[in-house]
Structure 1
């Protein structure tokens, strides 16, 4: 995640969310700040300024792993680093595997702000994403996208005054530089929607407004930058302010990069078509040739042969039947895989 604005937004979310976790560590491992889910709960007998350290929050044996990742990122001139740590749950002293991204926030690259979440949540957590997403969250896809450098930026729309605004990071991603990038408060992300996707996205946005926000705005489409680079994105949004007459006053949302996910989907589609064609070839071409061989063998069997020749014919006949059975099994499995894949695609659509 390259935008400090994005880091600050996630940091604030971690304070209000029961899913996100937050901790700031100095170079010695002392906790400078944390949310209520990190570290022991102080008792009445603890000193008010009693310091908390890494070993109070995570398995002490993982400090060296943390340090190695920090030094490695620092030497590679990276702004942040990823790591999985076992968080200690107080007071029962059990542990939970958590995934973190730590950001350097000091000039000596020693103090790090960490934002994390459980790897395998045992319950539906409330993300606390407030104005962007409602309800409980059952899988890690969105959170992983936010933490794994896929958050492109934020946007606002004022439909009453026909004004739009995007975050600086999103402006840069869309190819704006110099003075153009500085005027991000006047830039429109909708102008960069791929022409083939524009009508569909517009309909989904209007559906959100017509239902008074009851239907969340979520849309996957292509964005085209100024230099004609295409990026697949998912847009999440919500109307956060309404007029007294019930008209939308302010829409806010975010954009997440899904290009790699889309590449995988395209590969799966091509693989699906390959399997379908292969099943057709197996069913019609290969099995037809096997049937021809079986027919020829039946004709040959009507003639008299030596004992040795008859053994060879029996072997050929047995192997041919086994080949036909293998083809039938392979065809059945290919058809089942394709049907399963097509059902999955229909559910997504």
Structure 2
């Protein structure tokens, strides 16, 4: 059974996301809701809202494929089904390949909520949200960070050929301009980890490899971007593909900004002794006042408390 709360979060995220797509269809193919990228834009000359159907959003011949998958999932008592559809790009009226998961949200298995993403040829630095969240042990933490606008970017690593792939957003965060990205071809982002933290990061990666899939990676470290500016990041990662010998083939991860969290921790650490001393002074002052109220001096009152305890 799918987690309905997570589906709703993804549905809301898809409405504003530049990566995710969202559409809700009834059993007749009528669009009940969608994000702005689905269907034709309303005309200024439309005096009332016109109904939008499947054929307004996707290649019309895909409807039979959609219905076939829907009925197959319904008869198999599945909660959702996967399908690839050709989305119509308005107003150009050309098509883009997309992949969807449709969830049944009505008892008659007629109304479906779909969450999709574009299917494009893999390019350098093309790593997306959907890829990482699929089966991720950190999906709720990552989604919370994304909704709080703390996303730095995504990364992927092939241990066999020791090759990194990162998202354009992360490349820009590290200080690389568009032209540099094209010229370099591949950016080894881990060289931007602070030397002291790089040792710990390497140890945690090796520890993850020793526990196939059961110990996902979660680690804080400092990033040194171009220009020698330092910022704190939290990496969430896990191996998503293993060979027959249990060796990792592909690691996917996401980086979130934790600068504010580290600033708060540093403030508390720096003020720890001050706060401890302040608490002691306040406690001592309070004991003295109570002693005066009871008619004892501080020493007699302390002795009395010790005796009673």
Give the match for residue 196 of structure 1.
196
1:50–1:154 distance in 2 versus 1, CA, 3 Å: closer
Q: Supply the distance in 1 between the matched residues of 2:223 and 2:204 (Cα, whole angstroms).
A: 16
Match of 1:49 among 25, 30, 47: 30
1:272–1:106 distance in 2 versus 1, CA, 3 Å: farther
Give the match for residue 170 of structure 2.
170
Give the match for residue 236 of structure 1.
236
Matched residue of 2:272: which SS?
helix
The 5 Å alignment of 1:201-216 reads 201-216=201-216
Give the match for residue 218 of structure 1.
218
The number of equivalent residue pairs is 199
TM-score (norm 1): 0.47
2:159 and 2:249 in contact (8 A); partners too = yes
1:21–1:53 distance in 2 versus 1, CA, 3 Å: closer
Give the match for residue 292 of structure 2.
318
Matched, 1:134 2:108: no
Gaps of 5+ in 1: 1-13, 26-32, 55-104, 108-126, 295-316, 329-349
Deviations 1:223-248 (A, max 9, x none): 11111111111101111122233221
Shift of 1:142: 3.3
Shift of 1:183: 4.8
Give the match for residue 267 of structure 2.
267
Matched residue of 1:227: which SS?
coil
Give the match for residue 245 of structure 2.
245
TM-score (norm 2): 0.52
Matched residue of 1:20: which SS?
helix
Q: Supply the distance in 1 between the matched residues of 2:246 and 2:34 (Cα, whole angstroms).
A: 51
Who wins on radius of gyration, i.e. which is larger? 1
1:132 and 1:254 in contact (8 A); partners too = no
Shift of 1:282: 5.6
Matched residue of 2:233: which SS?
strand
1:252–1:260 distance in 2 versus 1, CA, 3 Å: same
Gaps of 5+ in 2: 36-88, 92-128, 303-309
Q: Supply the distance in 1 between the matched residues of 2:136 and 2:197 (Cα, whole angstroms).
A: 23
Q: Supply the distance in 1 between the matched residues of 2:185 and 2:225 (Cα, whole angstroms).
A: 17
1:322–1:134 distance in 2 versus 1, CA, 3 Å: farther
Deviations 1:59-110 (A, max 9, x none): xxxxxxxxxxxxxxxxxxxxxxxxxxxxxxxxxxxxxxxxxxxxxx999xxx
Matched, 1:153 2:153: yes
Q: Supply the distance in 2 between the matched residues of 1:53 and 1:157 (Cα, whole angstroms).
A: 34
1:164–1:182 distance in 2 versus 1, CA, 3 Å: same
Shift of 1:53: 9.0
Q: Supply the distance in 2 between the matched residues of 1:262 and 1:135 (Cα, whole angstroms).
A: 20
2:133 and 2:139 in contact (8 A); partners too = no
Deviations 1:196-237 (A, max 9, x none): 211111111111011122111111111111111111111011
The 5 Å alignment of 1:77-116 reads none
1:202–1:135 distance in 2 versus 1, CA, 3 Å: closer
1:324–1:133 distance in 2 versus 1, CA, 3 Å: farther
CA-based RMSD: 4.2
The 5 Å alignment of 1:109-124 reads none
2:23 and 2:33 in contact (8 A); partners too = no
Give the match for residue 21 of structure 1.
11
Shift of 1:172: 1.1
Higher mean Cα deviation, 234-243 or 267-276? 267-276
1:320–1:275 distance in 2 versus 1, CA, 3 Å: farther
